[in-house]
Amino acid sequence: MIKDYFNYKIKIKNTPFETGGAEKSDNTATISFLDANKKEIAYIELAYVDKEEIYHLIDEKKSINLDHCYIENFSLSDYRESRNIEKKTYIKLHQFSAYNTFFDSRIATDFSFAEFDEDYKTFENAHFLNGAVTFQSAKFNHGGINFSYTYFNDGNIDFTNVLFGDGEINFKNSWFGPGHKNFQDAYFGKADVLFVNTEFNEGDVSFVNTLFESRRVSFKVARFGYGKINFHFARFHCKELIFERTEFGDGKVDFRTIEFSDAKVSFNRAIFGCGEKSFEAAQHKGGKVTFRRTQWGDGNVSFEKIEFQNTLLFLDNADFGKGNLSFSQSNIMELSLKSCHLDYYVDLRLAKCPFIDLSDTVARDIIDIKPYDFLLNIDTINFSGMRLIGRIYIDWNINHVKQLIYSQKNTSHREIAEQFRILKENFNNTGQYVDEDKAYVEFKRNELKADLQEAIKKNSLSRIWQYPSYFFQWIVFDKVGLYATNPLRVLTSMMFSYIFFSLVYLIVPFFVNTKIVSSLGDPDKLGPVTVSFYHSAITFLTIGYGDYYPSGIFRWISGLEGFVGLFLMSYFTVAFVRKILR
């Protein structure tokens, strides 16, 4: 492929041109390619074929072999006009071949409404030196077509309404100049479609309403320049769709309302520019769609209202640059943003998603999971290892946070504890202090279980003292006062403790020689029930009037009750003050 030239010169010589040992043409075309300083950088000789010779071949329905030829101003529209044929009448081209052919036109090289027969057609290494190129409504039928290494100097290319048929369509390593590349309403059949390493350059590229029924569609390592890239309403009814390492340029990228069918879709390591990226209302029947290690550039990214209810959507290790990311009202089977950098607003208010993976993400702005005008149906979210520099908008009750965490599979208590710790700090920063307390309790519960499991795993004999220690902390710190987050719970625990000790003083004397003694001779003639509850009160509250004192085993029980009362009153004070100060 000859490119990167500034200008070119054509000379037609009256000398025969031979190729393959046979005469190809009576005349030879020489082409000199010049740089900006008019210095020759390439030189080529080709057979010169006048367009009228091709028109006669069409008239006689003969095969058309234009390999290694130079052709000026070829136009099927001109052919129809010269033969008085209606404008949109299909012109049949038999056994067409244009390998290493150089087309040159003042206005446009025109293959519109051409019908190629079933044989394999080729434009491999062809050069369209000047003028636009149109294949509008052409039919390539089932033999396949090869545009690999084809050079379109003028980037205004029209493939609208083309019927490519069921043979392989190959644009591998082709090069388009600046201009509008239009494949709107084209049909690609059942064989592979290859735009691998294709250079689209500047200008809009349109695949609007295009239908792909191919086995494999590949834009791998293709490069788009500045301009709108439009796949709106495109239908990829294929087995595999590849955009790996594709560079999309700085224009708007539009994949709205696209149908991926059940194709295996890969945008891994793709590079997007600074324009808006939209996959709004895209559909996928089931399988995987992956955007791993994709660089999204600056500009908003929208996956709103996508229908991926049987699809795993992976955006792991992606860098979303400077732009908002939205999955609002989408339906996704599983969404993974693992190890992503989320520096701007992220809308995770999905209509339905059984599992969202936010593990190891770095979040610097807002992650919005709190429903506003519609209910969310999210079963599980994994926050493990998240570096939360920004905020998560989430509500403990509305979002069922406890269920989101505990429904995780194969997650250790340490990892669960860490997730609740992250949410606890987040709730504190957003002023949701009630939710903070709930997250803190779950954090401490799982931390306690994790400490127990890790200690026993390290030394199996430690279970002898680890289990008693665990149950003591479980009762005292958790059940009594929910880790000082609930003063009412502590107050209730105080009442139960007081009643318990009062009943002990009442019942135990029936079985053991011990009693509560009056130091004043019992002037008020109190009954056993009153004495038991009165002694318990002054002991529990550490008042100690001295008018009643314990004897026997009650001395030790009263000492224990005094300690419990002092501890619970202190516990209540801490929990109450903690609530009030916030």
pLDDT surpassing 90 at residue 19: no
Residue of 131, 141, 87, 85 whose CA lies nearest to 106: 131
pLDDT surpassing 60 at residue 106: yes
Alpha-carbon distances, residue 300 vs 206, 257, 322, 323, 358 (angstroms): 21, 17, 8, 4, 19
Choice among 293-307, 326-340, 549-563 with the minimum mean pLDDT: 549-563
Domain boundary among 418, 449, 479: 479
Residues 399 and 427 in one domain: no
pLDDT reported for residue 356: 96
C-alpha–C-alpha distance, residues 430 and 394, integer Å: 10
Residues 332 and 209 in one domain: yes
Residue 352's beta-bridge partner residues? 331
pLDDT digits (tens, 9 = 90+) for 239-258: 999 999 999 999 999 999 99
Residues 364 and 451 in one domain: no
pLDDT digits (tens, 9 = 90+) for 524-563: 678 889 889 988 899 998 888 888 888 889 889 999 999 9
Domain that holds residue 428: 410-479
pLDDT surpassing 80 at residue 223: yes
pLDDT-derived band of residue 413, with 50, 70 and 90 as boundaries?
Answer: very high
- DSSP secondary-structure letter at 221? T
**How many distinct structural domains can be found in the chain?**
4
pLDDT surpassing 80 at residue 522: no
pLDDT surpassing 70 at residue 21: no
pLDDT reported for residue 338: 96
Q: If DSSP codes are grouped into helix, strand and coil, which group holds residue 252? A: coil
pTM recorded for the entire structure: 0.85
Residues 80 and 191 in one domain: yes
- DSSP secondary-structure letter at 272? -
Non-local (6+) Cβ contacts of 556 within 8 A are: none
For the range 499-503, what are the long-range contacts, defined as Cβ-Cβ under 8 Å and sequence gap of 24 or more?
Answer: 501/536, 501/539, 501/540, 501/557, 501/561, 501/564, 502/532, 502/533, 502/536, 502/537, 503/532
pLDDT digits (tens, 9 = 90+) for 422-438: 999 999 999 999 999 99
Residues 102 and 13 in one domain: no
Which domain CATH number covers 565? 1.10.287.70
pLDDT-derived band of residue 23, with 50, 70 and 90 as boundaries?
Answer: low
Residues 337 and 463 in one domain: no
Q: Would you put residue 549 in left (φ > 0), alpha (ψ -120 to 50) or beta?
A: beta
Write phi, then psi, for 443 (nearest 5 degrees).
-60, -50
C-alpha–C-alpha distance, residues 130 and 112, integer Å: 17
pLDDT-derived band of residue 20, with 50, 70 and 90 as boundaries?
Answer: low
pLDDT surpassing 60 at residue 63: yes
Residues 64 and 35 in one domain: no
Q: Count of H helices and E strands in the chain?
A: 9, 46
Residues 128 and 26 in one domain: no
Residues 71 and 99 in one domain: yes
Residues 268 and 404 in one domain: yes
